[in-house]
Structure 1
Amino acid sequence: MGPKAFVKEYWRILVLVLFVGAALFALFVPGGVFGDTTLVEGEDPEAEDTPTNLVYGLGLEGGSRISAPVAGMTADDVESVADAETGEVDHDRIQEIEAGLHEDLEPGAANLSVVLHDDGWISVEIYDDDTTEAEFAEALNNQGLEVDEDDVRPGVTAETRAAIIETIQTMINEAGLSGGTAYEQQDPLGGSYVVTEVPDMGPDQLEELLSDRGVVEVWAYYPDGNGSHTNETVLSGDDITDVDPPQPDQQGPGYVVPVQVSEDAAWDYQDRMNELQFTSVGQHQCGLGYDEDGTVDFDHSDDQDRYCLITVADGEPVAAHSMGPDLASSMSQGTWAESPTFQMGSQNIEQANSLAVSLRAGALPAPLDFTQSQTYSIQPALADQFKFYSLLIGALSILTVAGMVFLRYRNPKVAVPMILTASTEVVILLGFAALIKMPLDLSHVAGFIAVVGTGVDDLVIIADEVMDDGDVSSSRVFESRFRKAFWIIGAAAATTIIALSPLAVLSLGDLRGFAIITILGVLIGVLITRPAYGDILQRLLTDR
């Protein structure tokens, strides 16, 4: 038999072997299919020393889950800023509204947002606890927007929630928290919650991570000409395009985070530093100290002029540095903006890592309301027990099913391929989970056990159908009976998928993981393992 004939004859079995081989590769080869063995910054190297490439969730790894709504108020669809004929958006109007609201309400720069929807309408959000709904509505009316106090609702827009989830997920990845995830969940009353799950982290640590919005700025602190000092924001996190790992400060204690500034912001920053004399008389003229809580102390009793570049994280000045001669020289000559890199200061490595993560992930568009949060945590030691019991229960389920199959058929030609084929479904599913780095939890384990049960049920239907009248020595008879059995299991699979699809789509916690694994198992069975089992059984029971 030539290669082409061999492939044509055994293609269903070869497909099964191919998928099993790929699954084993994804499971056990370091780095998996994509070959990525690089550790994320801050990740423990010993955490990679595991027998498989599987990633575990809270139930099997330990960790915390926090579900919290987004703090804020929103006035939805207050005005259309798109031309009715051309669809062109009036961005000047958006900026006019933002500037007017900032003047009336005086919130922080990161505490107010005008959200532009796809249909050209805008919604306005504010995240300032000091502003009431009545004050918010009045400020909107001052900008020519017809908004009543009843039109202001708690919460934020769907666009902002999606941006928050994306930022948290990036924050988790940048912090090296393998297996962590963030998603949105709806409650029965229509409220929306942002859910964050991180393995191997306590609830207090996770809340602290999420409490830091990641708003990073650089302030220029300089004499105002009246015998005192003032400060202004000269760079924000949005102006940073690239961030290098933290490193020790070569000019003194502490650490620095090397960053690269965007081209547009670089020229403005360079011009402003020259205007404020940071590049001339301001060199090495900072000298600010630190309070006991680690923030910059702006109190100084002498008459010396101070020129400081202040690193600010979430509104807290955490480091103050003078401008060095090299940076000052390149800015005064106008060449720095051509290759705009500089260093943001921090006092310790933890603070430096936090700065780097915030700069890479970006700032949370709005804060989370932890006064209404729900917290769930599990200790790693208990999770290890669950992991062992899950493996034990999985092995017992396979052995129990194998025993029942042997008692039912008492024919190794039927029973052994049946058990092996059912086991390959679990192997393929585990390989898929390792490939996409799906954090496995107890709900997924329940799905694996359900897959074994439903898989063997379908294989029993195939075996019973083809052996119904005893003699199956004819390949034609076997294929006729197999097609009939396959229609039965195909209809059953469709019913299962339809029934579980709502659970897989809706945000219903652990039920979603169970539904996803079960649906994937059913699809793998119908498309790969059931046809392969039919081919194996045909070659063992017929004259072919």
Structure 2
Amino acid sequence: MLQIDLWKRVLIWALCAAGLFMALPNAFYSRVEGVNDARAAIELQGATAELTDQAAGWPSFLPASLVNLGLDLRGGAHLLAEVRVDEVYEARITALWPEVRDTLRPLRSEVGTIRRQNAPADELHVKIGNPAGMQAAMAAVRALAQPVVSLTAAGEQDLTVRGQDDVLIVSLSDAEKLATDERTVQQSLEIIRRRIDEVGTREPTIQRQGSDRILIQVPGLGSAQELKDIIGTTAQLTFQPVISRTTDGSTDAGIGEEVLPSLDESGVFYVLEENPVVTGEELTDAQPSFDQNGRPAVNFRFNPSGARKFGDYTAENIGNPFAIVLDDEVISAPVIQSHIPGGSGIITGNFTVEESTNLAVLLRAGALPAGLDFLEERTIGPELGADSIEAGKIATIVAFAAVLVFMALSYGLFGIFANVALILNIALIFGLLSLIGATLTLPGIAGIVLTVGMAVDANVLIFERIREELKTARGPARAIELGYEKALSAIVDANITTFITAVILFAVGSGPVRGFSITLGLGILTSVFTAIFVTRLIIVMWFERRRPKTIEV
């Protein structure tokens, strides 16, 4: 008999009500979006009268989660960046020289004098005065090697050491280079994500492509250049000893030295020691501020390790200049007036308020481990997005209306029941998209349109099966019950295969393909729920009320 337990009825209607409740904010998209922006601004900047009024534009007891619009619907910036992983090899080798030098110094009686030689960027060449001590030197330097941190390189060492005449050559092993590449790209991904999140952009797409490329899509930005300004600098901050100052940019730097231009003073260059005293990696915080003259500046603070090194250096070098270097430019070279304990300080320069704010964001998010080459950049205007949304609306409305008319003409009253379930189905899709914070793209709209067509397939199978059962002279209650039972296996099989396809598309696809797979997958789940449970509940409630002797499907 047609019976559904009370708790099941309550659960079905509760799920439908929850879906409608979660989808509600999307019916007032612009209003709720403005409220969300105001609430986020209050958390970051504090409350103002204008923000408080704007934040009150949507009741706090109602949900405020929206379906995020993707790049192709909202407009925004698109970048494809390649990570310069070779720079990391050079930085590792440069940082290795002091350690190698200190390791060989106790062996001078065997190896003689120690001098660094010019070499390729990914190699360290050390000339020793006594070639007979090469084996001892190689053994000592090999002791510096560490196991490679990688699941695929167990037992490998990170350094290779060899001798060539009187030159000791140290380089990174192939296994270490592969592990370094992986770490560098993953670190770059995370830092880019933190930098973009710091400025409050909505639902960016940041994902790896290939071995050393990163795709970055940020809806709502005005241009690709604006996005490059946020992430396009490595923000490598170092504090380096100053050897001399010159106006000749062609000055040859000695081994272990480098010549860098001044950011503020045109035509001025500084000769610096290559190894920094402290790096930006040891920063724990950076905030925009103003100096004693009211000019924009950036306050910074080091972690305990950086604070100790910074304090020791300033105590030992009072009266000497030191350079604050940002991305290979000297932004300031003050003379140390006194010991600076506590590990905090201020960076001054010819900044605007916006520049000091952006610099603080970059430093706070951390330095990119390597530079980026932008291989592709595009700006998608909001007008194109508005056209896409309008076209998507038209396609959805046309498909929706056509399905409603077809079902009503083909199956009469039962078709109207299916149409009610279809309307709930669309609401449930938007409710789920809002709940998980999904991003809706133009292919995602195509997935919804496809779902509208697919959503009635299950009802068609059920209704056709009920027709077959009515032809065997069964009563209407038994025909309806058998129709649902016998159509269930076909419905489940068809939708499982489609759902598997959606999962595969999500797993191997990216960007637009994923947007399509998400809406398709969610649409399958909601359409099966509405066809098997919601329409059946509606039919049972109608049947219990009317008790018809015969039915027409």
TM-score normalised per structure 1: 0.69
Contact 1:66–1:376 (CA<8 Å) still a contact in 2? yes
| Residue of structure 2 in register with 1:362 after alignment | 366
Q: Which amino acid aligns with 1:344?
A: I
Q: C-alpha distance in 2, partners of 1:309/1:13?
A: 68
Equivalent residue in structure 2 for 1:70, among 76, 80, 83: 83
Distance 1:369 1:36, change over 3 A: same
Cα distance change of structure 1 residues 503 and 486 upon mapping to structure 2, 3 Å threshold: same
Select which of 186, 195, 211 maps to 1:162: 186
Deviation readout 1:251-309 (Å, 9 max, x if unpaired)? 125312333321222122222222222xxxx5xxxxxxxxxxxxxxxxxxxxxxx7466
Alignment equivalent of 2:150, drawn from 98, 101, 117: 117
Task: Answer whether contact 1:12 1:528 (CA < 8 A) is retained.
Answer: no
Determine whether 1:194 maps to 2:194. no
Q: Deviations over 1:224-273 (max 9, x none)?
A: 9xxx98567343222122344x23x1412531233332122212222222
Residue in 2 aligned with 1:479?
481
Matched, 1:491 2:498: no
Q: How do 1:329-368 residues align onto structure 2 when only pairs under 5 Å count?
A: 331=340, 336-337=341-342, 340-346=343-349, 347-368=351-372
Q: Is it true that 1:173 corresponds to 2:193 in the alignment? A: no
Structure 1 counterpart SS, 2:371: coil
Aligned partners of 1:196, 1:58: CA distance in 2, in Å? 11
**Inter-CA distance 321–116: structure 2 relative to 1 (3 Å threshold):** same
Q: What is the Cα-based RMSD across aligned positions, in Å?
A: 4.7
Structure-2 separation of matches of 1:20 and 1:422: 13
Question: What does residue range 315-326 of structure 1 map to in structure 2 within 5 Å?
Answer: 315-319=328-332
Amino acid at match of 1:386: S
Show CA shifts across 1:198-221 (max 9, x none). Answer: 222323333444431232234465
Partners of 2:476 and 2:388 lie apart in 1 by: 49
Partner residue of 2:276 out of 221, 224, 233: 233
> Structure 2: how far apart are the matches of 1:418 and 1:461?
12
1:423-473 Cα distance to aligned partner (Å, 9 max, x none)? 333323323333443332211111111122211222332333345434887
Find the aligned partners of 1:479 and 1:52 in 2 and give their Cα distance: 39
Task: Kindly state the Cα deviation for residue 197 of structure 1 after the two structures are TM-superposed.
Answer: 0.7
Partner of 1:254: 295
1:140-177 C-alpha deviation (Å, 9 max, x unpaired) = 99237776xxx999997333222222221111111222
Please tell me whether the aligned partners of residues 278 and 309 of structure 2 are also in contact (alpha carbons under 8 angstroms). no
Match of 1:129 in 2: none
5+ long unaligned stretches in structure 2: 59-63, 90-95, 105-115, 123-145, 246-269, 548-553
Separation (CA, whole Å) in 1 of partners of 2:494 and 2:389: 31
Against the structure 1 CA distance between its residues 204 and 8, is the aligned structure 2 distance closer, same or farther, given a 3 Å change threshold? closer
Distance 1:121 1:429, change over 3 A: farther
Q: Which has the larger radius of gyration?
A: 2
* Aligned partner letter, 1:380: P
How far off is 1:379 after superposition? 1.6
2:236 aligned residue? 215
Q: Which amino acid aligns with 2:149?
A: L
Q: Which moved more, 1:155-164 or 1:197-206?
A: 155-164
- Kindly tell me: are residues 420 and 114 of structure 1, through their superposed partners in 2, closer, same or farther at Cα, counting changes over 3 Å? farther
Secondary structure in 2 matching 1:491: helix
**Structure of higher RCO (CA pairs closer than 8 Å, 6+ residues apart):** 1
The alpha carbon displacement at 1:542 in A equals 5.0
1:28-107 equivalences in 2 (<5 Å) = 30=32, 37-39=39-41, 53-73=66-86, 105=119
Query: Are the aligned partners of 1:321 and 1:345 in contact in 2 as well (CA < 8 Å)?
Result: no
Write the letter of the residue equivalent to 1:449: V
- Provide the C-alpha distance between the structure 1 equivalents of 2:33 and 2:335, rounded to a whole number of angstroms: 44
* Structure that is richer in helix per residue: 2
Deviations 1:34-67 (A, max 9, x none): 999313869x989999997332222111122222
Q: Quick check: 1:271 aligned with 2:303?
A: no
Partner in structure 1 of residue 22 of structure 2? 22
Q: Is the 8 A contact 2:455 2:528 kept in 1?
A: no
Aligned partners of 1:242 and 1:422: how far apart in 2? 52
1:516 corresponding residue in structure 2: 518
Distance 1:481 1:93, change over 3 A: farther
SS at match of 1:143: strand
Unaligned runs of 5+ in 1: 77-91, 126-136, 283-305
Task: Output the CA distance in 2 between the equivalents of 1:528 and 1:94.
Answer: 69
Identity within the alignment, % = 21
Paired amino acid for 2:282: D
User: Any conservation in 2 of the 1:30–1:37 contact (CA below 8 Å)?
Assistant: no
- What is the deviation of 1:69? 3.0
Helix, strand or coil: the match of 1:526?
helix
**2:170 maps to which of 132, 143, 153:** 143
Superposed displacement of residue 374, structure 1: 2.9
TM-score, length of structure 2 as denominator length:
0.68
Post-superposition shift, 1:19?
3.0
Change (3 A) 1:250 1:404: same
Q: Against the structure 1 CA distance between its residues 55 and 124, is the aligned structure 2 distance closer, same or farther, given a 3 Å change threshold?
A: farther
* Kept in 2: contact 1:221–1:307 (CA 8 A): yes
Secondary structure, aligned partner of 2:298: strand
Please say if residues 33 and 435 of structure 1, whose CA atoms lie closer than 8 Å, have aligned partners that are also in contact: no
- Tell me the CA shift for residue 122 of structure 1: 6.1
**Offset at 1:21?**
2.0
Distance 2:186 2:102 in 1: 22
Change (3 A) 1:239 1:487: same
Does the 8 Å contact 1:70/1:366 carry over to 2? Answer: yes
Q: Is the 8 A contact 1:240 1:261 kept in 2?
A: yes
Give the direction of change, closer, same or farther, for the CA distance of 1:74–1:98 in structure 2 (3 Å limit). Answer: farther
| 1:386-430, Cα deviation, whole Å (9 max, x unpaired) | 22222232222222221211121222xx23332232233332332
2:454 aligns with 454
Per the alignment, residue 295 of structure 1 pairs with none
User: CA separation in 2, counterparts of 1:507 and 1:167?
Assistant: 24
Hey, what's the Cα distance between the residues in 1 that align with 2:26 and 2:235?
35
2:417 match: secondary structure = helix
Contact 1:41 1:174 in 2 (8 A): no
Check conservation: 1:217, 1:233, Cα contact below 8 A: yes
Counterpart residue type for residue 142 of structure 1: I
Q: Is the 8 A contact 2:72 2:388 kept in 1?
A: yes
Quick check: 1:500–1:515 contact (8 Å CA) kept in 2? yes
Q: Distance in 2 between matches of 1:398 and 1:94?
A: 71
